[in-house]
Chains A and B, each alone.
Chain A
Amino acid sequence: MFDLSSPIGLALIAAALPLAGAVLAAILGWSKLGRFAHLPAILSFASASVISLLVLAGVIEGDGALSMSADLGTWFSVGRLNVTFAFLLDPLSLVMLCTVTFIATFIAIFSAGYMRGDAGYARYFSIMSLFVFAMCLLVMSNNFFVLLAGWEGVGLCSYLLVGYYYAKPSAAAAARKAFLVTRLGDVGLVLGIFLLWQAGGYHTTFDSLFDHIAKYPPASGTITAICLLLFCGAVGKSAQLPLYVWLPDAMEGPTPVSALIHAATMVTAGVFLLARCAPLFVLSPEAGLIVSCIGGATALLAGFLALAQNDLKRVLAYSTVSQLGFMFLALGCSGVISPKVAVVAAMFHLFTHAFFKALLFLGSGSVMHAMGNVIDMRKFGGLRKLMPWTHATFLIGSAALAGVPLLSGFWSKDQILHGLLEAGESHAKYHTIYLGLFAVALATAGLTAFYTFRAYFLTFWGTERIPHEAHGHAHESPAVMVVPLVVLAVGALLVGLIVDPLTHGFGHFLERSPSIANAHAGYLAHSNMVEKPHAFSWLVAGLSSLLALGGIGAAFAIYRRGGPEIVPAKLKPIYALSQNKLYVDETYAAAFVKPAEWLASTGRQFDAFLDAIARLLSFAPRLIAGLLRPLHNGLVQFYALGTVLGLAVFLTVVVFRSAR
């Protein structure tokens, strides 16, 4: 057993608190106190957040590896596999734990205002707490079993929350889509885990597994296969090409749920998984290249799709897909440049993105709340005066997302771009491709600034237009919703600057994770590289600032008068392409769903055929039984005769055959 007051004990308490919150909220829901169901959720998240921040404060000083593990007993043990409830506290999990609980606290506070009066109030907070708990379990895990438990728990809770308005067919469909599409990736993940066990000598904890692989490296094809299969899981969960389609549809849930999914609890799981498995990815440059390429393609494509969406939340959803693409771009570099740069850049972007994306979603929720649940930007506009707090905080969030210099998004994006450039300038095998990806990332950065501010201008600038659904009750949201916006806006403004460029604390702290340190060692051994000091590059910073400001300027030039949107005739086809999401959903339907349906109907006919045969076969026993039935005619003398005859037959056979 371990000490509950040790850092890992406290962290486990923090991780378990949301579970208690979920149970309490559910109990409140059963009783008549359902309207207080937000209290357990908020209190458990807040205390978990405080505890994890205290733990962070306790361990942040110092050098050298930081890793504590705890076993809470054996789950099951089969053959060579001994599976325990193993947990791990290292900088990677601690940063995730702090981020998740901190962001979730404010989302929960916002939800208390946003969801007030809803019939499923208690259900909402109960599942939300469970959602956060599953994510905590995921990040604290020290083996793939606990990780998978958290991973699937997250998937289940997202299904329940996206389908929160289950009576609405589109919500039910979106929930199903989210669940099924991410399951598709999970198949790969599970296969990858199996393969990893095989290659890793059936160890279970991450460290011993990676150590075993470092000591006895399997064939490069095997390691690439493992990496790509694990990446499959990440592609599903983190909404990358080709499985990103579920995320934009997941808008059907309540808006704070979107904030939770996009910022803290769900889509970051894939990034975390790859960061955790960095020691594997440094061993396979090919897998890294594929990760980067998929990340780059997703970033660009999603950025393009976000250009012409009319739904404010959809714009934000595509921007999440695009930003996650950025993170994978960085993660994929980790075999070419030091994981200390690549993984840290991805995690840093995840961290800052959590703040401004939660802020933007909550801001859009605030708008939606005021507009009577209308989120179509064509129907409203010019809300600057009406909703001053929402406007100001949304502006900060947009600027951070666009990458305006000195805001948090700028710093993390800069690290990613820098890493890509470094990879492109290296002498690795695929460095030209990385140079190309650098260009893609730059283009996406420009696009990001443009579409973000398009949405901003369309919503807040121009003449004031309010949809009739708002019934003239359009107003600024109550304090319970505004305060979280302000807190997150402060975070979006400053957190990037404080934690890294000023102090270099973030990167330095993360490097103390054994998995990143091991990955770094593996990288040095694998590529014979000399470690270069990481320096701030004015070239990259200048380029990205220029693009960000250029994008904002372009948006200002076109959209400063607000809606309705006028599209130049020459750009109409491109606009339509973007608006219709490049017809990806339709393509998928034609390429996968239709053949599957055909296969299913053929299978059904075949099944009917087999059924007929089975029926024919099953008729035989009844037929025979029907023939035997007259034997039981109810006459006792016949029964006695039967018995005696049977005896006589046996006697004859046994005695005469044997005596022969």
Chain B
Amino acid sequence: MNPLSSQALFDQASLSIRFLLPELTLVGSACALFLLAAFRSSRRFSGCLALGAIFAAAGVAFGIPEPSFLAADRFTAGIDPTGVAVFVRWLALGAGVIYALLGFSDSSRQTAPEYFGCLLVVLAGLSMVARVNDLLSLFLALEMISIPTYVLLYLPTKSKAGQEAALKYFLLSLLSSGVLLFGFSYLYGLTGAINLPLVAETLSKASQVGPVSPLALVAIVLVIAGLGFRLAAVPFHFYAPDVYEGAPNGVVAQLAFIPKVAGLVALARIFGLLTPDAPFDAARTLIPLTLWVIAAVTMTFGNLLALIQDNLKRLFAYSGIAHAGYMLIGFLVATEAGAGMQSGFDAVLVYLVAYGLMTVGIFCVLGYLTHTGRTIETVDDLAGLGRTNPVAAGMMGLFFLSLIGMPLTAGFNGKLLLFFGAFETPPTTPLKDLYRILTLIAALNSAIAAVYYLKAMGVMFLRAPLQPAAPAKGYAAFLAAFLCAVGTLGLGVYPKPLVDAARKAAPIPATKSPTVLVVSK
């Protein structure tokens, strides 16, 4: 049957739409918000509408059963709703609630509808990254995250720094999108397919018969570079500190988390790490070593530069770079997936959730404090917070402890899974002992990171307050921070549900065909 016949196309499209109902709800609500902006712009109204849209999407996701999906459909379907798709959708909706709450204090009255509308589109894009099944829609989904972010960055800008941030992000993001698209075009050219599992399988099969095509390597490096920008991995990280510094809290909170999730999940899907039957075999090439170097350099670079920052947002930009490095460890381990592995991509998912809770939580506290009339720009502005706003400072302290990786916080469990997975990787893999060395580097980095987090905590709790206690306002941001704190502590004390969910989303492949394990150097 002609695949382009209108009836087949229609069937496929209608099937795809049924897998995307929650995302469509989000985008539809966003459109309504954009339209509404012409008539009424109120922060509370738009915010409540956005929250309602998120809950409606959750209701749709929960209440309307999806059509059945067979594993074999993966190679033809436009949407793959299994595995990581479910995990990321709920992650996006959960994060959406937090962001919407934070938006109450972060958006300005005039631009509130646009603010919340863009947020909804970003959330839909994030969810779609994990479920669309071909290169083109994947690119579109990624742009659904990037383009609203440009708008979000530009919306509140009256200041020069803000305009600069928006422009820088726009230019560099375009560059990275171009690189990514370049890589995608190579992949299509090599395999003649845009279906993600098909691409991975074709590459895999080709590499099993003959030598790995250099063009395939070029494509992969280009894809890593394009998505590395979203992760803020060195050397594609340059934008982060400048953009963070000029952007408002709520947007920084999104920038720090959503592109990282999208980038990592997209990378894993292109590499076929989430479809246990056909992982792309890159083990014979220098790709793992490249990733090793990127991971090591990224975390070291981020932590070292965070050490000398005074500005809080710059500090968290570098800290975010460092955390991207940690997550790349998990990604690297997942590319080695094989017998005897302790963990794969599931560790990355757990770490992403933990990282999101603590980092977004920090920006929620900052949003709450800024809303109550303080200006918090530098670390020193936190002085004496423990005395003037003890609850906010307590939550902030909890997030810092989690970022350091103290036991009983979510951050600890995330780090434990990542580091343990790398440390326990069998030495039969091509990188041999390099995994252990990477674990050591990561542990050293955690120690360096503890310095600047603890320094900030010391400023908060030990120094005399510089600003008087602020009046209690901005309950929405406070609630968002509180939710993050509960999550950080709850998943720290009882991480099992999260780990189980992550395992379900990204199962560890039981075995790998032995031919692939051959080292050819």
Chain A positions near chain B (C-beta within 8 angstroms): 618, 621-622, 624-626, 628-629, 631-632, 634, 636, 638-640, 642-647, 650-651, 653-655, 657-659
Indicate whether A640 sits within 8 Å of B242 (C-beta atoms), given known contacts A625-B307, A628-B304, A654-B287.
no
Cβ of A626: which chain B residues have Cβ within 8 Å of it? 308
- 13 new A-B contacts, CB < 8 A, other than A646-B225, A650-B290, are A621-B448, A628-B305, A632-B242, A636-B171, A640-B172, A640-B175, A643-B175, A647-B221, A650-B225, A651-B218, A651-B222, A658-B217, A658-B285
Q: Among B167, B308, B451, find the residue whose CB has the most chain A CB atoms closer than 10 A.
A: B308
Q: Is the CB of A632 within 8 A of B308?
A: no
Q: Is the CB of A658 within 8 A of B212?
A: yes
A152 to B487, CA, bound (A): 35
Cβ of A650: which chain B residues have Cβ within 8 Å of it? 221, 224-225, 290
Indicate whether A658 sits within 8 Å of B221 (C-beta atoms), given known contacts A639-B238, A643-B235, A646-B236.
no
Smallest CB–CB gap between B42 and chain A, Å?
36
Nearest CB to that of A656 among chain B residues?
A: B214
Indicate whether A654 sits within 8 Å of B285 (C-beta atoms), given known contacts A636-B172, A642-B235.
yes
Is there a chain A Cβ closer than 8 Å to B359's Cβ?
no
Indicate whether A629 sits within 8 Å of B305 (C-beta atoms), given known contacts A618-B451, A621-B448, A651-B218.
yes
Cβ of A625: which chain B residues have Cβ within 8 Å of it? 304-305, 307-308
A621 to B451, CA, bound (A): 11
Q: Is the CB of A628 within 8 A of B290?
A: no
Chain B positions near chain A (C-beta within 8 angstroms): 167-168, 171-172, 175-176, 179, 211-212, 214, 217-218, 220-222, 224-225, 229, 234-236, 238-239, 241-242, 285-287, 290, 301, 303-305, 307-308, 448, 451
A643 to B451, CA, bound (A): 29
Q: Among A629, A651, A658, find the residue whose CB has the most chain B CB atoms closer than 10 A.
A: A658
A624 to B301, CA, bound (A): 9
Nearest CB to that of B287 among chain A residues?
A: A654
Smallest CB–CB gap between B438 and chain A, Å?
18
Cβ of A642: which chain B residues have Cβ within 8 Å of it? 235, 238
Q: Is the CB of B171 within 8 A of A654?
A: no
Cβ of A631: which chain B residues have Cβ within 8 Å of it? 238
Q: Could you say which of B176, B238, B290, B451 contacts A654, with CB atoms under 8 Å apart?
A: B290
Cβ of B448: which chain A residues have Cβ within 8 Å of it? 621
Smallest CB–CB gap between B179 and chain A, Å?
7
A631 to B308, CA, bound (A): 14
Smallest CB–CB gap between B189 and chain A, Å?
16
Q: Is the CB of B214 within 8 A of A639?
A: no
Q: Is the CB of A640 within 8 A of B171?
A: yes
Q: Is the CB of A651 within 8 A of B221?
A: yes
Q: Is the CB of A621 within 8 A of B304?
A: yes
A644 to B176, CA, bound (A): 9
A622 to B304, CA, bound (A): 7
Closest 10 CB pairs of A and B: A646-B235, A639-B238, A625-B304, A647-B225, A625-B308, A659-B214, A658-B285, A654-B286, A636-B168, A655-B214
A114 to B308, CA, bound (A): 62
Cβ contacts A to B, 10 pairs, < 8 Å:
A618-B451, A621-B307, A638-B238, A639-B238, A643-B172, A644-B175, A650-B224, A653-B290, A655-B217, A658-B212
Q: Among A621, A629, A651, find the residue whose CB has the most chain B CB atoms closer than 10 A.
A: A621
Smallest CB–CB gap between A250 and chain B, Å?
36
A627 to B196, CA, bound (A): 42
Indicate whether A628 sits within 8 Å of B301 (C-beta atoms), given known contacts A621-B448, A653-B286.
yes
Nearest CB to that of A645 among chain B residues?
A: B235
Cβ of B242: which chain A residues have Cβ within 8 Å of it? 632, 634
Cβ of A644: which chain B residues have Cβ within 8 Å of it? 175
Indicate whether A639 sits within 8 Å of B179 (C-beta atoms), given known contacts A647-B222, A654-B217.
no
Q: Is the CB of B221 within 8 A of A654?
A: yes
Smallest CB–CB gap between A656 and chain B, Å?
8
Smallest CB–CB gap between B289 and chain A, Å?
8
Indicate whether A643 sits within 8 Å of B218 (C-beta atoms), given known contacts A625-B308, A632-B238, A658-B285.
no
Q: Is the CB of B172 within 8 A of A639?
A: yes
Cβ of B451: which chain A residues have Cβ within 8 Å of it? 618
A654 to B218, CA, bound (A): 8
Q: Is the CB of A657 within 8 A of B307?
A: no
A423 to B220, CA, bound (A): 90
Cβ of B225: which chain A residues have Cβ within 8 Å of it? 643, 646-647, 650
Smallest CB–CB gap between B313 and chain A, Å?
13
Q: Among A631, A636, A645, A653, find the residue whose CB has the most chain B CB atoms closer than 10 A.
A: A636
Cβ of B308: which chain A residues have Cβ within 8 Å of it? 622, 625-626, 629
Nearest CB to that of B169 among chain A residues?
A: A636
Cβ of A621: which chain B residues have Cβ within 8 Å of it? 303-304, 307, 448
Cβ of B304: which chain A residues have Cβ within 8 Å of it? 621, 624-625, 628
Smallest CB–CB gap between A357 and chain B, Å?
47
A646 to B286, CA, bound (A): 16
Smallest CB–CB gap between B512 and chain A, Å?
20
Smallest CB–CB gap between A642 and chain B, Å?
6
Cβ of A639: which chain B residues have Cβ within 8 Å of it? 168, 172, 238-239
Cβ of B175: which chain A residues have Cβ within 8 Å of it? 640, 643-644
A643 to B303, CA, bound (A): 19
Smallest CB–CB gap between B255 and chain A, Å?
16
A631 to B241, CA, bound (A): 12
Cβ of B286: which chain A residues have Cβ within 8 Å of it? 653-654, 657-658
Cβ of B167: which chain A residues have Cβ within 8 Å of it? 636
Cβ of A638: which chain B residues have Cβ within 8 Å of it? 238
Q: Among B171, B303, B304, find the residue whose CB has the most chain A CB atoms closer than 10 A.
A: B304
A634 to B160, CA, bound (A): 13
A631 to B301, CA, bound (A): 11
Smallest CB–CB gap between A328 and chain B, Å?
44
A103 to B236, CA, bound (A): 77
Cβ of B221: which chain A residues have Cβ within 8 Å of it? 647, 650-651, 654-655
Q: Is the CB of B176 within 8 A of A655?
A: no
Cβ of B179: which chain A residues have Cβ within 8 Å of it? 647
A629 to B241, CA, bound (A): 11
Smallest CB–CB gap between A613 and chain B, Å?
15
A312 to B165, CA, bound (A): 81
